[in-house]
Structure 1
Amino acid sequence: MKTKPIHKIKEIFQSEHIDDKIIEQLRSDSRKGVQRLLAIHDKQKMKEEKLKKELLLKKQFEDQFRLSENDLLAGVDEAGRGPLAGPVVAAAVILPRNFEYLGIDDSKQISEVERNILFKQITENAISYSISIVQAQEIDQLNIFEATKQAMTRALESLDFIPQIALIDAVKLAGLNFPTQSIIKGDEKSLAIASASILAKVTRDKIMEELHKKYPEYNFNKNKGYGTKQHITALKKYGPTVEHRKSFSPVQMTFRKELS
């Protein structure tokens, strides 16, 4: 193995299934290039093992809510409760028991690139999923908490199958014809809730990117409607749009200023 040039050894590391015996042989190769490749390989293996452990813990957490192994379990989460503009989006997801894709976590803890990859994996493999959008005008009518509950309820009611249990991230829902359980920090504990958080976040981000094209002065593509310094400055200069939540301060203040 030592006689192989480093670029050939690199190709071995890039193969999908690298033999552990080859790895052990390479550990005796003192060349710096080989040792760097081994360090990268070891780091990747450690990361993979960590993700596998996290996946197992999320599945074990969910299993305590199933009465039988065939029970359908839905996860529900939202994106967009805090911004000054744009909708609140909720997603509900039912995953198959054998779903093994690694890296699914609270959407805020993973990069945009990873979220988009995971969005595709979740939507292509889910037994059922649903996404519900409540616009700014309805948020103003209901208040953000009630609008969030509406979005979550609609997402659950739009699933193709009725779950035996629904786990919801930190919100209690009533009036559904199946049991629900509010889970504090659910997107860290439940695979289904974490998956729902990714669907909701990716969907809302895309909506805000589209709104940026309509209202470029607010930079919705970057701030996603949150009250950044730049957003507040634009709000004071141009006033609120129809996409702004006029019941939210400081939008409320600029809206009243416009009316006076």
Structure 2
Amino acid sequence: MSRGEYAPGMTDVPAGVDPLIASPARIYDYYLGGKDHFEADRVAAEALLAVFPYGPVAARQNRGFLVRGVRHLAESGVRQFLDIGSGLPTQENVHQVAQRVWAGARVVYVDVDPVAVVHSRALLARSSTVEAEEGDLRDPEALLETARRHLDFERPVGVLVAAVTHFVPGSADPYGLVAALMDATVRGSHLLLSQATADMASEEALHRAEEEWSKTSATLHTRTYEETVRFFDGLELLEPGVVPVTEWRPHPDESYPGADKAPLYAGVGRKT
């Protein structure tokens, strides 16, 4: 089998990528109806669906929260966004949402998966206000050094950490990592964050999901409501606070699934 046969739409495998190991970015791409994934990602995604059949629902609802949150921040005057764990390009990307409000809004996409970075750069080839870079939340200093090449940290930044922290174990101090990012920003900056939780799922389903995720390039670390709220320490939580992802400022003309089908908490905090 040639490298180009690993996945629809891919003609090569970027350096540093093992196509035999599934990654969260490509699993989410599969759930969102994309085409940039390998056979290992499809196998892992289907195995996770056998454990939790609402994976695609959760992925779409998390995306919806991201879109609503970015739109709100842009309408509040934020013109710069740092999207960490941005994943593969899809519909309603951050720059598209933000630039409907501010045509010159600047966005830096950062992901640990080289496949996501390569495809993002291809999408953004003609953009002068949007960049895609490889980076890891677990190395905030290097991530910030990269972001500073494109964003002005003397002005407010929207720091987006959607569905990322549940892949960071407690031993890596996820709270310290997020705090390091926010410490680098000025007043008026915001943190948008969503985190998987077991509060809305059965212990058996959670255990089986953790087992399946452990076979990928990431492991799942769910957190409680109180543990999720802790990410916003020192920030002013915007209404309605930390809530199930479907309940963060839902659109009045749309219907949403129950929280058990999208078991993530979500919130947006402002640095004052």
Tell whether the structures are fold-level matches, with TM greater than 0.5.
no
Structure number with the higher helix fraction is 1
TM-score (norm 1): 0.29
TM-score (norm 2): 0.28
Larger radius of gyration: 1
